[in-house]
Amino acid sequence: MSMIKNLEKTKLMAIVPAAGIGTRMNSPIAKQYIKLGSLTVLEYTLDKLLTFPLIEKIIVVLHPNDSYFQNLSVSNHKKIHITYGGENRSDSVLAGLKLLDNHDWVLVHDAARPCILHSDINKLVNQVLIDEQNGGILATKVTDTIKRSSIDKNNYIAETCDRSLLWAAATPQMFKVQELRDNLSRAITLGLTITDEASAMELAGKFPKLIECRRDNIKITRQEDLALAAFFLKEQGYYQE
C-alpha cells in the first residue's frame, strides 16, 4: 500500500447502510443477505472493509426488525458496531454518522457492493487526503450512449446526452464526518432528494472529487447481478464455495 499523506493524523471510519429491503431484487430476503457460495453479500462486503488496514471502525446500519445479521460470521468482530436505520438511505447514514467523532473521515459504502478492491479504496483515500477539500467518491466514466426521455414519461427520446462529462457514481464515498453530517441533516430537514452522500454535499455548494474505479465494483440490484458478482469475486480470488 502506497504512503498516504497525513496518515499519522488520519482516523478513518466506515458506514455500511444495510437497512434496505431491496424491492427490485424480487427476493424473499434482503439482497445483502443473499448467499454467493457459502457467504452472504454483506459478509463479502464487510470482509473487504475489515481487512483494509486503515479503517478503525465500521458502523453497520440495520433495519430495526433485522433478524439475520446476528448469525453472520462477522457479527461479533471488534471493529463492527451496529445501529438502526430510518425510512431511507440518508436517514440510515445519518444514524451512523451520529456515532462518529466530528474530525474523523468516513467512508460510506453500499452493503451490496461486495466486489470493491483495496486498491480502489486506497486510491480514493490517497486522492481525498491530498486535496483535503470537499471529499471524493469512486465512480466510473459512462461509456454507453445515454438518452434522455421525454418529460411526459412515455419513453420517447428527447435528446442524446454528452457522455464525455458523465460519470456513474459508486462507493465508497469519503468525507469529513462533521461536514457530511451537517449537510445531510440539512438536506433531510429541507425535504431535498438525496440519492447518495455526494448529493448532500453538492446541495451545500461543495463539489467532491470524482475518482475512477474498476468496473467490477458493481452494485447488486437485480437477480442477474448475482451471477456477475459471483464471477468477479472468483476472478479476484475472494469467492468462498
Annotated domain spans of the chain: 7-236
The set of cell numbers assigned to 155 is: 419513453
Q: Residues 134-143, buried b or exposed e (16+ Cβ, 10 A)?
A: bbbbbbbeee
197: Cβ contacts below 8 Å, ≥ 6 apart:
93, 108, 137, 173, 175, 180, 184
pLDDT in tens, 180-232: 999 999 999 999 989 999 999 999 999 999 999 999 999 999 999 999 999 99
CATH topology of domain 7-236: Spore Coat Polysaccharide Biosynthesis Protein SpsA; Chain A (3.90.550)
CA dist., res. 162 & res. 155, Å (int)? 19
CA dist., res. 114 & res. 163, Å (int)? 27
pLDDT in tens, 149-190: 988 778 899 999 999 999 999 999 999 999 999 999 999 999
Alpha-carbon distance values, 2 to 35, 118, 177, 225 (Å): 33, 11, 24, 32
pTM above 0.85, yes or no: yes
Q: Is the pLDDT of residue 41 over 90?
A: yes
Average pLDDT score, the chain: 93
In this prediction, residue 133 has a pLDDT band, given cuts at 50, 70 and 90, of confident
